[in-house]
Amino acid sequence: MSYKRWIFIAILLFVSGLIFGLATPTSITGPISEDIAALSEFSDMLASLPLFLIAIVIFVKNASVLLISFALSPIFCLLPVMTLTVNGWMLAIVSTVVVEKESLGFVLAALLPHGIVELGALMLGEAAALSFGTIAILSLFKKEKRRLVLPNFRQNIKYLIIALALLLPAAIIETYVTPLFLR
C-alpha cells in the first residue's frame, strides 16, 4: 500500500475522533471543564520555567508519543489508532469547552500557529506507525510478507524522522509564537 494511503487513513482516524468529540454530549464535556482547569494550573506551573525549557518539554512529550506509538504499532496497530482518534476527540472536546468560555477566534489563535506543523507531524509519524505495524502483523501470518518487514521499517523510519524533525519547530512556535496570538 502506498504511503499516501497511510496518510489518508491517519487523517481519517483523526477526523473520526474530531467528529466523535464534537458529537460528545455536554453532560460528558461538563466534567472535562474541571480537568481543563487543572490543566490550566499545570500550564501556569510550566510558565515559570524558561521558555527554551518549555519548548524542550513540549518537544519531548510529542516525540515520545510518536516513538512509543511506532515501537508498539506491531501490537495490532492499537496505539497509532488510539493516538489519532483520542487526539482528535480531545481536541474537539477541549475546543468546544474553550469556545463556550472564550471564542472561536481564541481557539484558532491557540491552535493554528503551531497546530498546522504539529498535526502534520502527527499524521506523518502515525501513518509510518500504521504502515510498519500492519506489515509486521501480516508477516506473522504470511511468509511472503516477512521479506518486506525490513524495507518497510527502513522506509517508515525515514518518515518518522521527518515527523520528529517537524515537532521541533512546532514546539518552538507553540512556546514563542502562540502566546503572542493569545494576547
Q: What is d(CA 91, CA 87) in angstroms, rounded to the nearest whole number?
A: 6
How do the pLDDT tens digits run along the chain, 183 residues long?
Answer: 799 999 999 999 999 999 999 998 877 766 666 666 677 777 777 778 899 999 999 999 999 999 999 999 999 999 999 999 999 999 999 899 889 889 999 999 999 999 999 999 999 999 999 999 999 999 999 999 999 999 999 999 999 999 999 999 999 999 999 999 887
The gap between the terminal CA atoms of the chain, to the nearest Å, is 45
Grid cell, residue 42, equals 499545570
Domain positions in the chain: 3-182
Burial of 17 (0-12, 13-18, 19+ CB in 10 A): buried
